[in-house]
Amino acid sequence: MAQCGACTVQLNGVATRACQTPVSSVGNAAITTIEGLSPDGSHPVQRAWMELDVPQCGYCQAGQIMAASALLAKKPRPSEADIDEAMNGNLCRCATYLRIREGIHRAVQLAATGGAR
């Protein structure tokens, strides 16, 4: 497993594949799923994703958003290389990669102009 990244969640803010993480191994670490990112879709990454209409089928997007938001939490102004490194494990069968990258850049802007969490 750990092939596609669609199940990505955050453990203490670090992007983690849920499919290869037994609950017993989590201990006291905080698990954040997409539902926990923001209750109303107000996280800058979610707002950027809506603004650019990033999803096609949408199946991978929870994982993409969790990977992108973990990246931005660590590096609020990521370089292209940072994005490559953080996102390359998340596959998108519909190949929405161009809008995902654009979405990350847009989220950086949105976070900078308020709406950061």
Partner 1 sequence: MTSTLPVSRRSFLRVTAIAGGGMLIASYVQPIADLAALTGSLEDFTPNAFIKIGADGSVTITAKNPEIGQGVKTMLPMIIADELGVDWKAVKVEQGLFDPVAYGRQAAGGSTATPTNWDNHRRVGAAARQMLIAAAALTWGTPADECSAASGIVTHRPSGRKLTYGALAAKAATLAVPDLATVTLKDPKDFTIIGTPQKGVDTPSIVTGKPIFSIDVKVPGMLFAVFQKCPVFGGKVKSANLDVVTAQPGVKHAFVVEQVGTSLGGLLGGVAVVADSWWLAKQAREKLEVTWDEGPTASHSSVEYARKAAELAQGPAARSLRKDGDVDAALKGAAKTVEAAYFYPFLSHATLEPQNCTASFSNGKLELWAPTQTPANGRQLVAQALGIAETDITIHLVRGGGGFGRRLSNDYLVEAAWIAKTIGVPVKLLWTREDDMAHDFYRPAGFHFFKGGVDGEGKIIAWRHHFVTFGEGDRPGSSAGIQPTEFPSRFIPNFELGTSFLPLGVPTGALRAPGSNGLAFVFHSFIDELAHAAGKDPVQFRLDLLGDPRMVAEPDGRAGYDAARARGVLEDVAEKSGWGRRKVPKGSGLGVAFHFSHLGYFAEVVEVTVVDAAVKVNKVWVVGDIGSQVINPLNAEHQAQGGALDGLSEAMGQEITIENGRAVQTNFHEYPLLRHTQAPPVEVHFRVTNNPPTGLGEPALPPVIPALCNAIFAATGKRVRSLPLSKEGFRWA
Residue 55 within binding range of ligand FES, rule CB under 6 A: yes
CA distance 49 to 55: 8
Residue 7 within binding range of ligand FES, rule CB under 6 A: no
Candidate segments 24-32, 51-59, 70-78, 108-116, binder of partner 1 by CB under 8 A: 51-59
Residue 98 within binding range of ligand FES, rule CB under 6 A: no
Q: How far is the CB of 6 from ligand FES (least distance, A)?
A: 7
What string of DSSP letters covers the chain? ---S-TTEEEETTEEEEGGG--GGGTTTPPEE-HHHH-TTS-SHHHHHHHHHT--SS-TTHHHHHHHHHHHHHH-SS--HHHHHHHHTT---TT--HHHHHHHHHHHHHHHHTTT--
Closer of 57 and 112 to ligand FES (Cβ): 57
Residue 70 within binding range of partner 1, rule CB under 8 A: no
Binding partner at 88 among ligand FES, partner 1, none, C-beta below 5 to 8 Å by kind: partner 1
The contact set with partner 1 (CB under 8 A) reads 3-4, 6, 33-35, 37-38, 40-41, 46, 49-50, 53-62, 65, 83-84, 87-88, 90-101
